[in-house]
């Protein structure tokens, strides 16, 4: 059961919202760092699982829990999008930083080759991750599917 906190004024509401935001953000950063360190056994939820969780949350009729779910979902999407992987906004930030570092000068060929290799490899890894998460997601949401595929 959720421990509900209440506020008496706008300042209290902003304070509660800020502390909840900080808690969610800490949980997200902690989760990502444990995945990077390899100390996490957590599974990534794909779009089907997220839709199922969202539907379950909304069906409870608990408005606060629904807002919390969607806040956590949005913060997770923002954190994932900030990763420096090609195709995501984080890669654009890295590109802008490189342009700021080199200015209008041409990026050295060795650095350009390294960027291209990293881009290709990380793009491939992103496709593999997305496919893996999607297939695992389908297996969780449609539990009979793995058995059907074996036959």
Q: How many CB atoms lie within 10 A of CB 91?
A: 19
* Distance between CA atoms of residues 79 and 25, nearest Å: 9
Phi/psi of residue 8, each to 5°? -95, -15
Q: How many CB atoms lie within 10 A of CB 86?
A: 19
Please tell me whether the overall predicted TM-score, pTM, comes out greater than 0.85 for this model.
no
For residue 9 the two structure tokens come to: 């004024």
Per-residue pLDDT 10s for the chain (151 aa) are 456 777 888 888 888 888 888 888 888 888 777 777 766 666 677 888 888 889 999 999 988 888 888 888 898 888 888 888 877 888 888 878 877 877 767 777 888 788 788 888 888 888 887 888 888 788 777 776 656 566 5
């Amino acid at each position: 059961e959720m421990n509900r906190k209440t506020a008496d004024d706008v300042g209290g509401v902003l304070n509660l919202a800020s502390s909840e935001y900080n808690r969610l953000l800490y949980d997200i950063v902690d989760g990502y760092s444990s995945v990077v360190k390899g100390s996490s056994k957590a599974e990534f939820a794909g779009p089907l699982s997220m839709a199922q969780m969202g539907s379950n949350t909304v069906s409870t009729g608990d408005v606060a829990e629904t807002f919390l779910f969607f806040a956590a979902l949005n913060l997770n999407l923002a954190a994932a999008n900030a990763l420096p992987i090609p195709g995501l906004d984080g890669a654009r930030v890295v590109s802008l930083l490189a342009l700021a570092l080199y200015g209008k000068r041409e990026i050295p060929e060795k650095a350009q080759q390294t960027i291209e290799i990293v881009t290709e490899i990380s793009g491939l890894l992103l496709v593999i991750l997305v496919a893996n998460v999607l297939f695992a997601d389908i297996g969780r949401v449609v539990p009979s599917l793995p058995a059907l595929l074996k036959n």
